[in-house]
């Protein structure tokens, strides 16, 4: 390009400078009905292949359970989706347009993927309601956060989520004083405040009593439909109670996929996971 041409393009009045264009991710494009594509993902830690050519497609509104023995790569997979770990190869797309591998954790969260950790992780020093307030979708930059005030609409939203997770009576309690199960629900509630399109839920039923488990199952099934939910779980009874479709991971690859019955009768699955 000559200097003159560069000058001309620089001076064009119908365009703004590149750095002035706001850096917003493209809207979630669900034209093909698939919300998450993981294609040929591999990642290894010190030579150990945690994920090996993993292919996984999640449909919009689906509730998918992922099971697999310890070390099958379930948590690593979540790390990749949420941007914590970068894969060595493969691609990960959120809808048709959003390339997850080019984004970091806060960007991915803003784009609409929420994640619940294996261990209940809430802000224990804060009241339940503050936990939800912090998680609320919105402008999360420093200055905006400093001057943020709750408006009526946002209060209603918090109220609504408190109802959904059944913590309405404890909203001023410190999150640290909640029971284990209630913390799990609070964390799910924090995900809901983010208005995600895709929820990743890591072992929601761990350490829960049977009643709590039933409520959690109810909660998760009610969430699917309007949003997609991926549940990683060990407890087979729990999986059976919620699963529409199950994916079995083994040594970082998909071993089998289908309904719970199909999966349970699959010879390979029985061998590696369900035992003799």
Partner 1 sequence: MLGLLVLTTIVVPVCNLFVPESSGLHISTYTMTLLGKYLCYALLAMAVDLVWGYLGILSLGHGAFFALGGYAMGMYLMRQIGSRGVYGNPVLPDFMVFLNWQQLPWFWHGFNWFWFAALMVVLVPGLLALVFGWLAFRSRVTGVYLSIITQALTYALLLAFFRNEMGFGGNNGLTDFKEILGFSLQADSTRAGLFIASALALAGGYLSCLYITRSRLGKLCTAIRDQEDRARFIGYRVENVKLWIFIFSAMLAGIAGALYVPQVGIINPGEFAPLASIEIVIWVAVGGRATLYGAVAGALMVNYAKSYLTAAMPDAWLFALGALFVLVTLLLPRGVTGLLRKKEVTR
Footprint (CB under 8 A) of partner 1, residues 139-178: 140-142, 145-148
Per DSSP, helices labelled H in 49-113 are 74-81, 105-111
- 130 by DSSP, 3-state: which? helix
Instruction: Tell me how many helices (H) and strands (E) the chain has.
Output: 11, 10
Which residues are paired to 63 by β-bridges?
229
Angle in degrees, 0-180, between the axes of helices 152-165 and 210-223, rounded to the nearest 10: 130
| Shortest spacing between CB 223 and partner 1, in angstroms | 17
- 115 by DSSP, 3-state: which? strand
Closer CB to partner 1, residue 39 or residue 130? 130
Asked if residue 123 binds partner 1 (CB under 8 A), the reply is yes
| Shortest spacing between CB 158 and partner 1, in angstroms | 13
Footprint (CB under 8 A) of partner 1, residues 72-101: 82
Asked if residue 130 binds partner 1 (CB under 8 A), the reply is yes
Per CB under 8 A, the list member of 33, 40, 106, 225 interacting with partner 1 is 106
Per CB under 8 A, the list member of 35, 38, 54, 133 interacting with partner 1 is 133
Asked if residue 134 binds partner 1 (CB under 8 A), the reply is yes
Binding segment toward partner 1, per CB under 8 A, in 51-59, 188-196, 221-229, 233-241: 188-196
- 69-103: b or e for each residue (b if 16 or more CB lie within 10 Å)? eeebbbbbbbbbbbbebebeebebbbbeebebeeb
Per CB under 8 A, the list member of 51, 65, 67, 109 interacting with partner 1 is 109
Which residues are paired to 258 by β-bridges?
246
Q: How far apart are CA 220 and CA 214, in angstroms?
A: 10
Question: Do residues 95 and 29 touch, judged by C-beta distance below 8 A?
Answer: yes
Residue 214: in which H helix or E strand, if any?
A: helix 210-223
| Shortest spacing between CB 90 and partner 1, in angstroms | 22
Binding segment toward partner 1, per CB under 8 A, in 30-38, 45-53, 86-94, 115-123: 115-123
| Shortest spacing between CB 102 and partner 1, in angstroms | 16
Residues that bind partner 1 (CB under 8 A): 82, 105-106, 109-110, 114-115, 117, 121-126, 130, 133-135, 137, 140-142, 145-148, 190-191, 193-194
């Amino acid at each position: 390009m000559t200097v003159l041409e560069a000058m001309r393009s620089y001076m064009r009045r119908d365009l703004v400078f590149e750095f002035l264009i706001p850096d917003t991710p493209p809207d979630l494009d669900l034209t093909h009905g698939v919300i998450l594509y993981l294609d040929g993902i591999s990642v290894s830690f010190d030579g150990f292949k945690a994920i090996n050519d993993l292919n996984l497609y999640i449909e919009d509104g689906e509730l998918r359970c992922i099971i697999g023995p310890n070390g099958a790569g379930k948590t690593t997979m979540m790390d990749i989706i949420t941007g914590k770990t970068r894969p060595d190869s493969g691609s990960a797309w959120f809808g048709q347009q959003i390339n997850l591998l080019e984004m970091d954790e806060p960007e991915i969260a803003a784009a609409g993927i929420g994640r619940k950790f294996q261990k209940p992780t809430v802000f224990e020093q804060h009241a339940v309601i503050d936990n939800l307030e912090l998680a609320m979708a919105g402008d999360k930059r420093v200055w905006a956060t400093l001057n943020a005030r709750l408006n009526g609409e946002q209060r209603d939203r918090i109220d609504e989520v408190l109802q959904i997770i059944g913590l309405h009576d404890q909203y001023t309690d410190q999150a640290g004083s909640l029971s284990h199960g209630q913390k799990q629900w609070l964390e799910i509630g924090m995900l809901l405040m983010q208005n995600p399109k895709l929820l990743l839920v890591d072992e929601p039923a761990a350490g829960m009593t049977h009643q709590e488990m039933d409520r959690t199952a109810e909660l998760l099934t009610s969430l699917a439909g309007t949003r997609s939910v991926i549940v990683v779980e060990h407890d087979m009874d729990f999986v059976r109670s919620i699963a529409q479709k199950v994916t079995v991971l083994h040594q970082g690859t998909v071993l089998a996929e289908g309904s719970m019955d199909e999966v349970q009768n699959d010879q390979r699955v029985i061998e590696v996971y369900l035992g003799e």
